[in-house]
Structure 1
Amino acid sequence: MKTRKRIRKFFPLDFYGADRGWRFVIRAYNTSEVFDALMWRSYLSVRRQDFNLLRLAVETFSYVSDYSEGHVAEISGSHGTLMRVKMLGPVVEVGALNKAYLEKKRINADCCPVG
């Protein structure tokens, strides 16, 4: 007998993304924002410099990162030690990213008319 698995949805949903050693969260508040959140996570994982996530953030979360990214760092005479650093990552809402994208698109259209 087949049973149907119920998927429970709790909002807000956080989607964690990373670009190299830098991490961020895209937050969706309803089902209509989930697809946008997944798209933004993928886009920002490749091109995070396109948007200032720290300015758009509603809060931050802390995480530990290997600052040296696998390379050996020399810190205070301790040779061969990996440097682990506590960092803060931004939590950005999907609505804020959509609004920033539309603003950027409008500014580019005003500055560079094609005709």
Structure 2
Amino acid sequence: MKYIIPLVVVVIFVFIRFAQCKEVKCSKKSFICQDATSFYECISDEKGNYFNTGVLQSCPPGLMCDDKNEIECEEDISMEFLTDRKLSFKFAAPAGRKHIIDDE
């Protein structure tokens, strides 16, 4: 009888921990992003299956995580460079690109 209460407490604790966990699936990369600033490291077994380590890691300040990147955390590209005006100017006729690329 004296072991029943501790056993019930342990079972409840384990159940709560598993209920809070969510599976994070790795692709064929060494990481998977949780959000823009954190990621899970992934490791592969001898069969080539990838698993996450279960430890959420943070990117250093100023770096962002994106699943499309080659490495976990890379510099964030300012949205200023992604506007239509900048893109159309950048790819305009050679005369319009003169100060960016000297075509002459």
Question: Shorter-normalised TM-score: what interval?
Answer: under 0.3
Is the radius of gyration larger for structure 1 or structure 2?
2
Higher RCO (C-alpha under 8 Å, 6+ residues apart)? 1
Q: What TM-score results when the alignment is normalised by the length of structure 1?
A: 0.23
Q: Which has the higher helix share?
A: 1
Q: Which has the higher strand share?
A: 1
